[in-house]
């Protein structure tokens, strides 16, 4: 957070309404049951384009993309503050890449800056989740280099889902599985006979990570849109009406409080 943003935040909190909000926020934080927090929170940061249309009419969507990226930085901070282990941010779907090139190019630039900015803090371990072959080569190289630079960082792991699609991921997992089995000389019949659920899970983009306990989606949409289709089998969902750039820390704390109040049955 820049000193300008920090000064603006302090000014907002000194306003009477801001003081009430801050008090409520602190109460929510104090009341959180730390023993019932999720290990892994994933978020569909939806509504950036609609936010731009409402708040910056006539301006390019890049205004909304940047506002959304700034909020994602705050979101990672919030996750770190409460002690979560993994956070997954979905910032670009495979479907998004089918948009007009004039729209996709600035979005990719904002996403690359976001990834590099998060890595540059040196506080979090960054992981690219998605199909980098769908991205420009220079962007992939920059993301992989930043990922490598944070590989030894302990603490919060930040998965950034870029060029990610749930069906795309499952297809890639099966391809990797079959290729690995082929290297051992196994036939398709042998693979089919011995295939287990864990075999597919071990080839997902998120292999080695715990499945998300809580998935948050903003902008009032109540669907997953293919996000973490395999991993979300037993996830809890929290839908928020706010457009992503308007998502507040208090909304995040409410989501955690709601999660902590649920009895997870895991299909049993």
Cβ atoms 15, 240 nearer than 8 A: no
Reported pTM: 0.89
Quote the radius of gyration of the chain (alpha carbons, Å).
Answer: 20
Cβ atoms 204, 231 nearer than 8 A: yes
pLDDT at 4: 42
Q: Who's near 194: CB < 8 A, 6+ residues apart?
A: 186
Q: For 89-137, how does the pLDDT look when each residue is reduced to its tens digit (9 = 90+)?
A: 999 999 999 998 888 999 999 999 999 999 999 999 999 999 999 999 9
Q: For 141-191, how does the pLDDT look when each residue is reduced to its tens digit (9 = 90+)?
A: 999 999 999 999 999 999 999 999 999 999 999 999 999 999 999 999 999
pLDDT at 200: 95
Catalytic residue among 48, 96, 209, 213: 96
Chain-centroid distance, C-alpha 62: 19
Whose tokens are 């995040």? That residue is: 252
Catalytic residue among 46, 131, 209, 211: 46
User: Does residue 46 carry a catalytic annotation?
Assistant: yes
User: Does residue 159 carry a catalytic annotation?
Assistant: no
Whose tokens are 């926020």? That residue is: 25
Q: How far apart are CA 88 and CA 73, in angstroms?
A: 12
Cβ atoms 218, 242 nearer than 8 A: yes
Q: What average pLDDT is seen over the chain? A: 91
Cβ atoms 156, 80 nearer than 8 A: yes
CB count in 10 Å sphere of residue 33: 11
Q: How far apart are CA 212 and CA 224, in angstroms?
A: 13
């Amino acid at each position: 957070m820049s000193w300008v943003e920090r000064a603006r935040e302090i000014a907002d909190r000194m306003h009477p309404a801001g003081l009430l909000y801050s008090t409520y926020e602190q109460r929510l934080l104090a009341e959180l049951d730390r023993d019932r927090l999720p290990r892994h929170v994933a978020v569909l940061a939806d509504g950036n384009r609609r936010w731009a249309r409402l708040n910056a009419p006539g301006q390019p969507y890049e205004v909304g993309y940047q506002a959304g990226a700034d909020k994602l930085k705050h979101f990672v901070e919030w996750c770190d503050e409460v002690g979560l282990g993994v956070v997954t941010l979905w910032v670009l779907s495979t479907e998004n890449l089918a948009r007009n090139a004039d729209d996709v190019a600035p979005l990719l630039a904002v996403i690359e800056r976001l990834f590099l900015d998060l890595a540059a803090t040196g506080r979090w371990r960054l992981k690219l989740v998605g199909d980098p072959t769908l991205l420009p080569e220079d962007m992939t190289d920059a993301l992989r280099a930043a990922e490598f630079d944070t590989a030894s960082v302990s603490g919060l792991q930040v998965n950034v889902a870029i060029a990610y699609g749930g069906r795309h991921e499952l297809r890639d997992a099966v391809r990797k599985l079959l290729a690995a089995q082929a290297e051992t000389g196994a036939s398709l019949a042998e693979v089919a006979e011995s295939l287990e659920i864990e075999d597919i899970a071990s080839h997902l983009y998120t292999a080695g990570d715990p499945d998300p306990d809580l998935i948050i989606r903003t902008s009032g949409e109540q669907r997953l849109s293919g996000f973490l289709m395999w991993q979300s089998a037993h996830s809890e969902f929290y839908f928020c009406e706010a457009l992503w750039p308007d998502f507040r820390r208090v909304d995040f704390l409410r989501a955690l409080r709601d999660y902590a109040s649920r009895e997870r049955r895991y299909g049993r």
